[in-house]
Structures are given as structure tokens and as C-alpha cells.
Amino acid sequence: MIPGAADPARPAAGRFAAGRLAQYNDRMATPIDPQSPAALARGREKYGPVAALLREMYGVPEWRPHLSPLDELVSTILSQSTSDTNRDKAFDALKARFPSWEAVRDAPLDDVIAAIRPAGLANQKAPRIQEVLQRITAERGELNIDFLADLPLEDARRWLTSLNGIGPKTAAIILLFGFGRPAFPVDTHVHRLSRRIGLIGPKVSAEKAHAIMEQIVPPEDYLVFHLNLIWHGRQVCHARNPKCSLCPLQDYCDDFQARLPRAARTVEP
């Protein structure tokens, strides 16, 4: 549990009135552009109280970068479709087996596969890592991506997503956690909660959600809100059988409100 966080098992039903959001919580009979002014205004109106409640519940997570940007890139590739624990096991095994990223780049593929097997999908991730390291060397003359700190943000994002296996989420993680730059990563927890709450539309893809969330959340809050959404997704708002009775976001959550009897709704979805 995050130090200083409130107990996630604390009942919260009825504590937070949200009737003033009724005008924003109409799902609208006619679908609208998820990046339209109306949709973004609705997301921003929800963001304030939702972020405040999550901070009350989990506190303000502190983040101190502990990996170099290149380490963060490789770690993030390893994290795809696996748990944080398995990612860390694979990353540590890779660092223990090879003395440098140059050694990983030039190693027999089977050796890299064996080292990162704890992360799963090793047959896919190993050649992807080597290809990325080879591409960086070919373009930069060395294995170093610190130059991304000086590029305009969108140029840095485009360069990262031009690498094989680096999509919007991976690029945003590298920019936010590796460089401290204002990019908002949307992982499976963030995507699920953002749609359920109604920060983004119910049919918005994870790929499109990055740009929308970056317009809804203030840049200085990207890291805290990203981490608190993940924590809430792991503790309360599970993909299956979410613990809605324990959730302090009930009055602001489209999904929860839609499942209430009409007379009990705080807002009308």
C-alpha cells in the first residue's frame, strides 16, 4: 500500500455529493467526437473531484527515477503483457548476464531469450530489444537516448514510436518516467478506469486515449494521476468483479451510476 494512503476497504457510499455534475454526466444520445470541446469539458469537470478523492485515498506517490532512459526503454519493452514482478525479474537477469547493452545487442539471440524468459513472450521481446539497440547504434553512433531530453516533446514521441515494438503507451512511459517529460501513459488499468468513470468515451481505444487524457489532466498531475489510477485499478476497480461498494468515486462514475435504480442515481448517465 502507498505510505500514508487511506484504507481502500473504507466504505464511501454517499459521502460525496455530485449533483452539480448532472449536466455533464449525460451520455448523450448522439455519439460525439471524443476530442470535441463538449467531451473534453465533461472529462475535465470529472477530473478535479476524481483526482482529489484518489489523492485522499492513496496520497501523493513520490517517484524518483532509478533507471537511465535507455534502461527504462528496455524495461518497458519487457513489461509488455506481463506483471511488474516478472518484468523486474527479467530485467535483473538481463543485467546480471550481460555487462552492457552493447553486449545484449551483439549476443546470440538464444542467450537473450533465455535471460528474459521470466517476462514471458521472450521469443518476441528478445529480437525486439536487439533490433531497437541496433537501430539506436546505427542512428546515434552509441547506445544512448539522452538526446530525447532536448527534442520538442512531439518529435521525441515520434522518434520513440518509430522503433519496432514501441507504441504510444511505451513511448509515454519512457518520456514520463525516464525523462520527467509531460506525457500521459494509458495502460490497461488507466484505460479501464477512464472509460468506466467517464473521463473518456466508452468506445475510445487505448491508443486514442493518450491524446485525450493529455488534454484533460493538467501536465503537472500526469505522474500522480497515472499512478493513482493504476493503484485504484489494482485495489478496487478490478477488471472483473470491481469492489464498487468500497469505491469513493461512486458519485462520479458513469458505470456505477448506470447500474443503479433510477431513483437512487446521483447523476443521470
So which residues are the catalytic ones?
Answer: 169
All residues at 6 or more sequence positions from 117 whose CB lies less than 8 Å from its CB, including other chains? 90
Is the Cβ–Cβ distance between 219 and 183 less than 8 Å?
no
Q: Which residue has the cell 489494482?
A: 234
C-alpha cell at 28: 448523450
CB 12 within 8 A of CB 251: no
The one-letter code for the residue type at 143 is L
CA–CA gap between residue 171 and residue 183 (Å, rounded): 8
Side chain identity, residue 152: P
CA distance 232 to 111: 38
- Output DSSP code: residue 147: G
